[in-house]
Each structure stands twice: as C-alpha cells, then as structure tokens.
Amino acid sequence: MTESLNDPVDHLACTELVELVTAFLEGDLDPATERRVVDHISLCDGCELYVDQVRQTTDVLAGLSGGAPLSPADRDRLLAAFRDSSA
C-alpha cells in the first residue's frame, strides 16, 4: 500500500498500541515499530497512562515476592539428606 501525502506517517491506533506494550517494555520491538510506539505515547495521554499502569502493576507484583520459608523440620530433614548423600 502506498502512503498519500496527507497521511505521511503510519500512525498506530491505541488498540494496536495496547497489544505492543509488553514487547515494548521488553525491548523486543524492531527499531521502526519502537519509534512508532514512542511517538504515539508522546502524543497520547491515554496510552502513556496505560503503559505506566502496566509498569505500576509489575511493581505491585514484585512486592508479592517472599513466600513462606521451609518449616524447621523440613529444613532439618533436607540438611540430613544432604549430609547422607555426600557422606
């Protein structure tokens, strides 16, 4: 398809941008698409906020880490098994 003079830039729709967010954040986009995404975000408040909220979501997810440590009994059994195996 050829581009008309009135439409020199191949604009992304917001519907397309929201599907590229992860690839964009992962740095997996080809340079041309990455530029279109950056250009779009710089002009579109909705998409800028959307990308930001995906980042905020990953921040909250990172705060979930931790998890339960082993019970002392389980830990002792493992250390004993390790001792036996290398004896």
Binding site for other proteins (CB under 8 A): 13-16, 18-19, 21-23, 26, 28, 44-47, 49-50, 53-54, 56-71, 74-75, 77-79, 81-83, 85-87
Q: Which is nearer to Zn ion, 20 or 47 (CB)?
A: 47
Tell me: does residue 47 bind Zn ion (CB under 5 A). yes
Contact 39, 10 (CB under 8 A): no
| Beta carbons within 10 angstroms of residue 20's beta carbon | 19
Place of tokens 């195996």: 85
Residue 1 tokens read as 């398809």
Chain positions contacting Zn ion, by CB under 5 A: 14, 44, 47
